[in-house]
Amino acid sequence: YGWETHVVCRHYGYDADADQLARDVHPDVTVHYLGQKTPRATSPQPPSASAGWKRRLKEGVDKWIVPDGSLVTWKRLAPQAAELVREIKPDVVLSSGPQHSIHWLAERMARAVGAKWAADFRDPYTIDVRFQPKGWLAPLRMAHRRFERSIYHGADITVHAIPLHGRWASRAYPGRK
Closest CA to 102 of 119, 87, 85: 119
Mean pLDDT of the chain: 89
Burial of 115-137, coded b for 16+ CB within 10 Å and e otherwise, reads bebbbbbeebbbeeeebebeeee
Q: Quote the pTM value.
A: 0.85
**Chain segment 83-110, per-residue pLDDT in tens:** 999 999 999 999 998 899 999 999 999 9
- With vertex at residue 137, the alpha carbon angle to CA 133 and CA 143, rounded to the nearest 5 degrees, is 70
- What would the mean pLDDT of 127-148 be, rounded to a whole number? 89
Of the pLDDT bands very low, low, confident and very high (cuts 50, 70, 90), residue 133 is confident
Lowest mean pLDDT among 26-40, 48-62, 127-141: 48-62
137 vs 159: which has the higher pLDDT: 159
Question: Quick one: how far is CA 124 from the chain centroid?
Answer: 13
